[in-house]
Amino acid sequence: AEVVEKLADSDADMLEINVSCPNVSAGGMSVGADPVALANLMDRLRPLTDKPMIVKLTPNVTDITVPARAAVEHGADALSMINTLKGMRINIRNGEPIIANVTGGVSGPAVLPIGLAAVYHTRTVLPDIPIIGLGGIDSGEKALEYLYAGANAVEVGAAALFDPVAPLRVARELDDLLDSRPELAAKLAAGQTWR
């Protein structure tokens, strides 16, 4: 709430509320996985700003449409999905977790199918909410998959850690792909989705 209050009068066009960070130990995952806690958080944050609020959802749930609905019903203007999957690694020399927090977020190509399914199912139950698809996008083709799954826009994350110009490359590749798909390009330009 403190951050939202500080950013309410900033030049930011919108705010992304990360309710699903697996890399922090103090309840980072629990809010995004619990629709009641998420609804309570949104009820607390929504009155603090008129800026559009995007809620970034966790894939670490049985049915992502449940927290998605809670977020939208309690003031989210858009959704971004997915955040990282909870995972861990073990140091084989000493048998201890490699990550100090024991578990952390898994991202990159491995999460692409999970992200696509999350967008697809959420678009089915929430046909009008803007959705930003993310998770495993490192090419224009993968970005296009998210658009066909029902995303309005896409975000490149982990790929930029290995290739700082990945977002620009993905955007160029996607632009080229959309040139050959005028029906999808027209829908996106009109604020619609493929599905």
Give pLDDT tens digits for 17-49.
999 865 555 555 578 999 999 999 999 999 999
Q: Is residue 28 annotated as part of the catalytic site, yes or no?
A: no
- The reply to whether 33 falls in a domain is yes
Average pLDDT value over all residues in the chain: 92
- The reply to whether 132 falls in a domain is yes
Quote the pTM value: 0.90
Task: Return the pLDDT at 23.
Answer: 55
104 vs 192: CA distance, rounded Å = 35
- The reply to whether 136 falls in a domain is yes
- The reply to whether 109 falls in a domain is yes
pLDDT in tens, 84-110: 999 999 999 999 999 988 988 899 999
Number of compact structural domains in the chain: 1
Q: The tokens of 182 are what?
A: 């005028």
Catalytic residue among 15, 17, 19, 21: 21
- The reply to whether 106 falls in a domain is yes
CATH number of the domain enclosing 137: 3.20.20.70
Domain around 88:
2-189
Count of C-beta atoms within a 10 Å radius of residue 99: 16
DSSP calls for 30-77: HHHH-HHHHHHHHHHHGGG--S-EEEEPPS-SS-THHHHHHHHHTT-S
